[in-house]
Amino acid sequence: MASPELVSFCCVGDDHLSGWVINYQNSPYNIVCLASSVFSIVGTVVQLLPKRVTPAESMRLRRSRDPFTSQKKIVMWLIVADLLACLGIFLRSMVWLAGDDHHLKDSATPATVFCAFIGGWIQLFYITTYFWTFCYAVDVFIIMKGFNGLRCCQYNISKLWVYHVISWGMAIVLTGEGLTFLFYPSGWECEDGKSHLVPNYLSTYIPIVLVMILNPILYISSSRSVPSILKSRRGKYTDIERAIVQSVRLKFFNVVLVFFACWIPNVLNGVLIFAGDKLTGQNFIYQAVVHILWYMMVCNKRHTKMSVNLLF
């Protein structure tokens, strides 16, 4: 589960967060996280396993100039980033289930350092998946427009390096910025109020919201190019071509829908945390809604496996 709340709980000495820490470090929640992370790890490892290719198919692939090669590589790196994030969740859940000494104390402990490190690890690699998802949509857009006359498809290698810089670079910058403002200048001690939490929250939620806004726009624009591409390549536009167009549009819609379904609970949870008057859980309805959202957020570890199945 990727949420900046867990990283913010790693500071010590803040009473108004302690009730939530105990609630979210309980066994049922961590068992759900552990099971979901195992499911995702198995799924992503299966996706990374080499596919069986016959010698004839291998020769054909070498001779062909597939414009979608970069997209396959993007999906592979998306899987790698998600796998690393899931491994962090698996390790965190195992450690927290192993004993009760992981709760935050009145002073910094190795458990506090572990909490901050593993929380930053999970946050870093999930932010990376957001940007790889965005880069996939950008690549689809470039290739579709490239078929319409823009000579860009021959630069797949250069594009992939740019995507690496965007995905890994932005994830490192945003995670580092969020954690710096969270723990500076007081170190492991919590600051009063919520103002010190804002940069860390924004570093996580802004990429999610941007992908939710920009990816549908890119996919819609790309899908509009499909009919003209089919007409130019086949010289006709019959019911078969219309079915292909509908299939492509449905594929784009499903990818966007999966991302929304898996990450919208995180955004709603962040809004509720800052909209709520207190974090002590005195409001039963408010507390219940946030708890439901936290368990729903566990589903995001299945996002990559579902998306990869759709992308392929």
Please give the full DSSP string across 259-297, using - where no structure is assigned.
HHHHHHHHHHHHHHHHHSS-SS--SHHHHHHHHHHHHHH
SS (H, E, C) 123-150: HHHHHHHHHHHHHHHHHHHHHHHHHCCC
Examine residue 185 and say whether the peptide bond preceding it is cis (omega within 30 degrees of 0).
Answer: yes
All structural domains of the chain: 4-311 (1.20.1070.10)
How many C-beta atoms lie closer than 10 Å to residue 27's C-beta? 12
State residue 134's pLDDT score.
94
Q: Any residues with CB less than 8 A from the CB of 13 and at least 6 apart, and which?
A: 106, 107, 189, 190
Separation between Cα atoms, residue 148 and residue 142, nearest integer Å: 10
State residue 101's pLDDT score.
47
Separation between Cα atoms, residue 48 and residue 34, nearest integer Å: 21
How many C-beta atoms lie closer than 10 Å to residue 264's C-beta? 17
State residue 172's pLDDT score.
96
Angle value at C-alpha 304, between 171 and 197, nearest 5 degrees:
40
What residue ranges of the chain have pLDDT lower than 50?
15-19, 21-22, 64, 101-102, 147-153, 155-156, 281
State residue 102's pLDDT score.
47
State residue 213's pLDDT score.
94
What are the Cα distances from residue 15, in Å, to 19, 27, 111, 202, 296?
8, 21, 18, 23, 26
Q: In Å, how far from its chain's centre is CA 286?
A: 26
Separation between Cα atoms, residue 65 and residue 31, nearest integer Å: 47
Q: Are 159 and 142 spatial neighbours (Cβ–Cβ below 8 Å)?
A: yes
Counting every residue written for the chain, the total comes to 312
State residue 208's pLDDT score.
92
The pLDDT tens digits for 150-163 are 444 454 457 888 89
